[in-house]
């Protein structure tokens, strides 16, 4: 079945540091890939997405590129801020599934210190 593996946290960085959160996936077919973010005390918000190979999703300074050859969708940001502290979830949606349910990774907690 489908699965998503992401690096375990917590990841602790200083403000303005470079961020990478690794995500790899296993899926049948050609999934769409997503990063969701969960700020403290809040629900899940879509951060960015990519629907086909070599697509780059980007939002709020975050980027991730859909790499079919390495089955990866790593999240990057050049300069993190304290306000980026949250839990980040990588997810996939396999178009073969009716309703396009999401399969999530375990989440990576990011803590950014001033």
Partner 1 sequence: EPEVTQTPSHQVTQMGQEVILRCVPISNHLYFYWYRQILGQKVEFLVSFYNNEISEKSEIFDDQFSVERPDGSNFTLKIRSTKLEDSAMYFCASSDARTGMNTEAFFGQGTRLTVV
Residue 88: C-alpha distances to residues 1, 36, 114 (Å): 22, 6, 20
102 binds partner 1 (CB under 8 A): yes
Please report whether residue 105 would count as binding partner 1 according to CB under 8 A. yes
Task: Out of 19, 27, 35, 49, name the contact with partner 1 by CB under 8 A.
Answer: 49
Half-sphere exposure of 23 (CA within 13 A, CB side): 30
Cα 110-77-6 angle, rounded to 5 deg: 50
Q: Is 99 in the site for partner 1 (CB under 8 A)?
A: yes
**Contact window for partner 1 (CB under 8 A) among 15-23, 53-61, 71-79, 103-111:** 103-111
The minimum distance between CB 11 and partner 1, in angstroms, equals 16
Is 97 an interacting residue with respect to partner 1 (CB under 8 A)? yes
Is the separation of the CB atoms in 24 and 72 below 8 Å? yes
């Amino acid at each position: 079945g489908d699965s998503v593996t992401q690096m375990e946290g917590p990841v602790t960085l200083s403000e303005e540091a470079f961020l990478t959160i690794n995500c790899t996936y296993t899926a049948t077919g050609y999934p769409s890939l997503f990063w969701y973010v969960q700020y403290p005390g809040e629900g899940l918000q879509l951060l960015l997405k990519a629907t086909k190979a070599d697509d780059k999703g980007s939002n709020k300074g975050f980027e991730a590129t859909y790499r079919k050859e390495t089955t990866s969708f790593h999240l990057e940001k050049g300069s993190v801020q304290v306000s980026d502290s949250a839990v980040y979830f990588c997810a996939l949606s396999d178009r073969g599934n009716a309703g396009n349910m999401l399969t999530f990774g375990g989440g990576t907690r990011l803590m950014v210190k001033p």
